[in-house]
Structure 1
Amino acid sequence: MIISFILTVVGLPLFIDYAHRKKQGQMIRDEGPKWHEVKSGTPTMGGLVFNIAIIIASLVVGILFVGFSPQLLILVFILFMYGVLGFWDDSIKLWKKQNEGLTAKQKLIGQIFAGVIFFAVYYQQGLPLAVNVFGYELYLGWFYLLFVIFWLVGFSNAVNLTDGIDGLVAGQASIAFLAYAIIAYVQHQTGVLIFCMAVVGGLLAFLIFNHKPAKIFMGDMGSLALGGALAGVSILLHHELSLLLIGIIFVCETASVILQVISFKTTGKRIFKMSPIHHHFEMCGWSEWKIDIVFWSIGAIAAIISVVFAVL
């Protein structure tokens, strides 16, 4: 955690300065809240810095303590692969000076490919092809591959949707990875523990520069990588469904988008003033800080409940 924190704290100011000199900044969505227009031009792709820090810290400490742990390596791989997808997406946006990058189909192909590799390593380790449902094993056999892909793709996109206001994802993901670090410690899964703590260190450092008013955004390179890695951690700890509670904010953000689309297409009416749901609360007059604190608090309570049930 300390190594990742230090590398991120040192690297981000250099990256922010580089982005300003190259005049590379985030393009704000036209359909987003109008007051977000002041954020246009803020450096993005901060995920590049903390992803590199997480990978270096994980591999260095991992080699020293657990050697080449397959669990640690596959988590690093997922972070890297989903990070590459996000990097590609962010680069297109910066190059075209717009808020549209890769198509949904292009992203999905890359996400599925990484999911298949993850499952291959998981299967090779002889881990159970079953989902832990409140302590009971729901055996899926080869259908577990579909579950792995769905989980990785779903939560990478869920975290991506949540990344809409300053500090929200960095804080909430820190809480989620810390919760899984505790579970990993109890299970003596040192490789997963090392990875989770490296993520927490990188995100806490990133939050210094990403809180309101943000000096840098993480971009898709950060959010897609974090979501995929979070899903991967829940699978390796065999507490897959706990992510629905530990990641309750990500679930609610995604659900708000799905419900909004269904409602508008079927009735012509919107349930929320704007989706994802953090924008709804902005439209209701909440400040970004208030949204962050309330959402983080809900996420922290949910994480504590999940950890208590997981370790009992």
Structure 2
Amino acid sequence: MPPPKDVSQLSAFLGLVNFYGNFVKDLHNLRVSLDALTKKDAWTPACQSSFDRIKAILKSDLLLTHYDPSLPIVVAADASNSGIGAVLSHQFPDGSEKVIYHASRTLTPARKKYSQIEKEAFALIFAVQKFHRFIHGRHFILKTDHKPLISIFGNKKGVPVYSANRLQRWATMLLNYNFSIQYVNTKDFGQADALSRLISPHTSEPEDRVIAAIDTEITAEILDNCNHLPVSFEAIQTATSDDPILTQVINYTRSGCWPKIDRNSPLFHYYNRRESLSTINGCLLTSSRIVIPKLLTRRVLYSYTKPIVDRPE
């Protein structure tokens, strides 16, 4: 885990300290110089010393434990704009958690373009695949700080039809596991949040290839669907980039930070469907359907509604 480079990463690290400080006496006392750093931009030797000492404690036997099949398992995962973090823990009778395994990964350029809900979902998929040998065939608790995923991945009646295409595929993958999903407020989720922000460079692993295959399959499916349209995928890409409304929707979808939208705004239609939105190669999708930009709407509608002319035999 590298030292924090900005206030956001520092806050994430302090959240990690805050979470594990509940289980390690006097851990909070080591963060004093780091707390001061949130108000001034100067990484001092004292800051580095505090960071190194805290990191050593987090890696020590005080917070780590060996896998025990008799104890409940907790899998926590979180995503930032640049990476994902996951923690496999045992829950003890007193309510405390000790870590079995930490994992983190930077997001590839393509995955950085995922909507925020897809990034959060990807973190969960990464976690269950990373910890597969510990959790497959037994019940575990899956924790997330992204509340919309509770209704998508925790729905016992099946995957909601409005969910984005990737979410539907990933939800199907999770059917292979026996878990209960729980929402945790972000301020209490320091163990996974910090790992998603303080991460080493990306290296490819086997589980990456499984998830990448799903992305490739979805892209191929969308491109195949576009072959049945009177406009090309490239034309949709260009028209989307020139459409100020769709450009704004794509930005909100990728960041996951939608402002409050007025009912009379042209964005309101998309705001109401924000959980079903995703992006692919610069185009906007709602569930598995591509959104046609306004510039091309008339041409597409005309191709489906133009009158049929009888031809003489």
- Shorter chain as normaliser: what TM range? under 0.3
Taking structure 1 as the reference length, what is the TM-score of the superposition?
0.26
Q: RCO greater where, 1 or 2, for CA within 8 Å and sep 6 or more? A: 1
Larger relative helix fraction: 1
TM-score normalized by structure 2? 0.26
Q: Who wins on radius of gyration, i.e. which is larger?
A: 2
